[in-house]
Structures are given as C-alpha cells and as structure tokens.
Amino acid sequence: MKSTQQFTAIIEREGDGYVSLCPELDIASQGDNIEEARQNLIEAVELFFETADPSEVQNRLHSKFMEHERKSCN
C-alpha cells in the first residue's frame, strides 16, 4: 500500500525560468514555467524516495524537523 505525504514546494522566478525547492527534503529542480518547475520537482522527490537509502530519508526529514524546532524555541 502506498502512503501519501505532503511536502512544501517553493517556486521562484530566476532568470528566464523558475526554480522549485522542497525544503523538507532539500531537493530542488527547475523549469521554463511554473507548472514545469512543479512537475520536475515532483519527479525529483519521487526519484529520491525510490532510490534513497531509508536512513538518508530519515536524516533529511529529522534534520529539517530539528531545524524548525530550534527556530520555534527561540
């Protein structure tokens, strides 16, 4: 059974195109327009989950969670 999780996608104009970032996983992509940047980011995140070692996934998610917690406590 496939589980579904939601992640943040930040898309910004850069030069002649768009850059997309998933800050929770520290994954980025790009595209010529917003939709292409979004789709490319989705593909990059899917590839990450298909190929990354489970410990790498946990490390990235845990480090972003801890970073958020430190900011919330200050």
Select from 45, 14, 10 the least CA-distant residue to 27.
Answer: 45
Can you give the pLDDT at residue 64? 59
67 lies in some domain: yes
45 lies in some domain: yes
Q: Is the pLDDT of residue 69 over 90?
A: no
Can you give the pLDDT at residue 65? 53
Token pair for residue 58? 């946990």
48 lies in some domain: yes
CA–CA separation, 59 and 4 (whole Å): 19
What residues make up the domain containing 24?
A: 10-73
Can you give the pLDDT at residue 61? 84
4 lies in some domain: no
pTM exceeds 0.85 for this model:
no
Select from 33, 61, 34, 31 the least CA-distant residue to 48.
Answer: 61
pLDDT tens digits along 10-68: 999 999 999 999 999 999 999 999 999 999 999 999 999 999 999 998 898 877 555 55
5 lies in some domain: no
